[in-house]
Amino acid sequence: MSNRIEIHDLGQIDYQEAWDYQTKIHNRLISEKRSQPGSADFPHVLILCEHPHVYTLGKSGEESHLKINEQGLGQIQASFYKINRGGDITYHGPGQLVAYPILDLDRIFNDVHRYVRGLEESVILTLAEYGILGDRLPEYTGVWLDPDNDRARKICAIGVHLSRWVSLHGLALNVNTNLNYFNHIIPCGIQEENKTVTSIQKELGIVVEMAEIKQIFTSHFLHTFGLEKTTKSKIFE
């Protein structure tokens, strides 16, 4: 089962609830590794979901990058969490595909940089299906459009955490996202005025079906990491 993965589509779910859900699976995989070293009995898991409006701050970020106070958060019906992933502040909301891969990288490869590049590649291949050229910026994680000029705009943010080589957190791809919510933060802590955010909807001028983008992304993700989809079991309940 070393290359098997379950796909858990949670639909739209509260951020804390999703965090608890992925943490439970993450801890279960770590516990399995500790109790049975070398065992590959448990499948990997890919969680797909959307969140209500929420801002999350990574452990290396600065709270000052959230530009509104608690009252302001209430006015825009958004919540705020400090979490244990890498990176700075980002936004999650309806119309955004959030993917949380919980992978035992001991069974794939022990290289965190290669893992992040793989997440980026999965998104780049997904965007290509829509005729959008995604790319990387060497100094930043995530996926960008036109990264080499003054129209650079970020379409996907990535922030991960690893414990005993089991991954947590993941990526957020702006599909039909309300980009106005990014005005209340300094996205990913990037303060350069010529670097903005975008979405697939903004680039194409059409609304993209979330079910379709989930299917396309999942296909490229599985291929990139050499994984095979397996039937969802009750292992993690």
Q: Can you tell me the distance from the alpha carbon of 228 to that of 148, in angstroms, rounded to the nearest whole number?
A: 35
Catalytic site includes residue 49: no
Catalytic annotation, pick one of 188, 200, 210, 216: 188
Measured distance CA(221)–CA(156) in Å, rounded: 14
Residue 93 near residue 54, CB atoms below 8 Å: yes
- Residues with catalytic function: 188
